[in-house]
Amino acid sequence: MSALPAHLPPADWRGREGLDALCTALGADAGEARFVGGAVRDSLLGIPVKDVDIATVHPPQDVIRRIKAAGFKAVPTGIAHGTVTAVLHHWPVEITTLRRDVSTDGRRATVAFATDWREDAARRDFTMNALYADPRGGTLHDYFGGLDDLAARRVRFIGDPAARIAEDHLRILRFFRFTARFGALDRGSADYAACVVHAASLMALSRERIADELLTLLALPDPSEVLAAMVEDGVLRPVLPEVTLAGVAALRALLTAEREAGCAPDGLRRLAALLPDKTGAEQIGARLRLSNKARARLNAMRAPVEAATPEALAYRLGTQGAIDRILLGRAFTVEAIGRIRDWPVPQMPLSGGDLIAMGLSAGPQVAKALQALERAWVAAGFPPADATRAMAAQMIVSLLRATQ
Ligand code: ATP
Ligand code: MG
């Protein structure tokens, strides 16, 4: 009944330089290492694979030794959790020792290394994320019905949803993310119901983890259906109570604009669309512990800015900032993006020093005159240096006259 391939199908990533040698070093021929997670899932769906994860029976120190013996760099990226990154020709592969949970508290897990594949599979979140494939023959190992669920686009917890959410609350957001990415949204499923009932437990998570997961969800091609369900069923309330269905409608408008303009999805821009005008970007940036750069961008997307032309907007906010605002419906129409996308934002050709050299005496009037000149320069459509100099000369003459 499953319409998926019976073996891991050939895919670009399998031919990446060094991968074969790494698999050999990890004992793949003896069944000691398997591909797992997103790489297996996405290959089965025939979509591009981002990162490759390998699970292995060998303990981390042994993994490090084997990676080095094969001539690759080994970075202990998450050694406490059993993860070592092998760097193959600038391309990282994460290798994790089989594990089982010893204790969990909703935020972090204490793990023990194990040698049982089924046990390792059991602590993963969804059945479609617990598929393993032998690197050699591509034989699939599916302990919890993940292939059928993947074929049916069903995001299903392994085991009891409420118990799995209690172990790690982030799985609520991961459920919505994978549903938006692969799933058919089924608001009647037991998995969905558990996520809704336990949504308040999200508050126990660190803001950074929530923000990361939310922004990843928002950056998917079309998260709007899942977002609407999350708003209607109160899942976002503990995190972003200000988001309403009006915000989801604004998100849909943004998706249309992005498509029309051929702009790639962007999580932060979509967050900006979801928030009502009256909500301060500062407040959200602080709550989600966004980076300073992200906060500045969110702010620029929402603060009032006046600009008479798309070019003037790009001059004020930079190309990215101007495109953000246009896509968000806050300035001009989508066609304007074509005008500024590859337009080299010019630099004001004159400085305060130039004005002084042209006869203006040093002092506070220089900054004022320079600002006035910049406004005139923008309004005149960014003329080149000569023409700007002429504008400045005229301005200085009238300033000098006024002070005589
Ligand atoms: P993506 O394409 O988004 O990277 P992925 O399936 O590779 O998808 P990752 O977040 O990279 O997802 O995690 C790799 C694997 O680790 C998952 O497929 C899943 O098996 C397991 N995993 C990750 N996070 C959790 C979690 N919170 N609880 C249980 N298992 C998890
Ligand atoms: Mg991954």
Nearest residue CA, atom 12 of ligand 1?
38
pLDDT of residue 1: 46
Give the distance from CA 276 to its chain's centroid: 21
Task: Find the 50 Cα to ligand 2 centroid distance in Å.
Answer: 7
pLDDT of residue 87: 97
Task: Find the 358 Cα to ligand 1 centroid distance in Å.
Answer: 64
DSSP 5: -
Nearest residue CA, atom 14 of ligand 1?
37
pLDDT of residue 2: 53
Task: Find the 158 Cα to ligand 1 centroid distance in Å.
Answer: 13
Task: Find the 174 Cα to ligand 1 centroid distance in Å.
Answer: 9
Dihedral sign computed on CA atoms, order 296, 300, 304, 306: positive
Q: Which of 93, 94, 97, 125 to mutate to test the pocket of ligand 1 (most atoms within 8 A of CB)?
A: 125
Instruction: Kindly give the number of the ligand 1 atom that is closest to the alpha carbon of 170.
Output: 27
Residues with CB under 6 A from ligand 1: 37-38, 50-51, 53, 124-125, 129-130, 168, 170-171, 174
Answer for the pair 38, 132: CB distance below 8 angstroms, yes or no: no
pLDDT of residue 202: 97
Strands 83-88 and 73-78: antiparallel
Residues of the chain with pLDDT under 70: 1-2
Q: What's the CA gap between 331 and 308, in Å, rounded? A: 10
Going from N- to C-terminal start, the domains of the chain cover: 1-152, 302-340, 352-403
Task: Among the bound ligands, name the one nearest to the CA of residue 83.
Answer: 1
Nearest residue CA, atom 6 of ligand 1?
38
Q: What's the CA gap between 395 and 379, in Å, rounded? A: 15
Q: What's the CA gap between 99 and 120, in Å, rounded? A: 5
Q: What's the CA gap between 320 and 297, in Å, rounded? A: 9
At the topology level of CATH, where does 1-152 sit? Beta Polymerase; domain 2 (3.30.460)
Structure tokens at 234: 């109160």
Answer for the pair 42, 83: CB distance below 8 angstroms, yes or no: no
Over the stretch 272-308, which tens digit does the pLDDT of each residue have?
Answer: 999 998 888 899 999 999 999 999 999 999 888 889 9
Q: How far is CA 204 from CA 160, 169, 171, 201, 217, in A?
A: 20, 8, 13, 6, 19
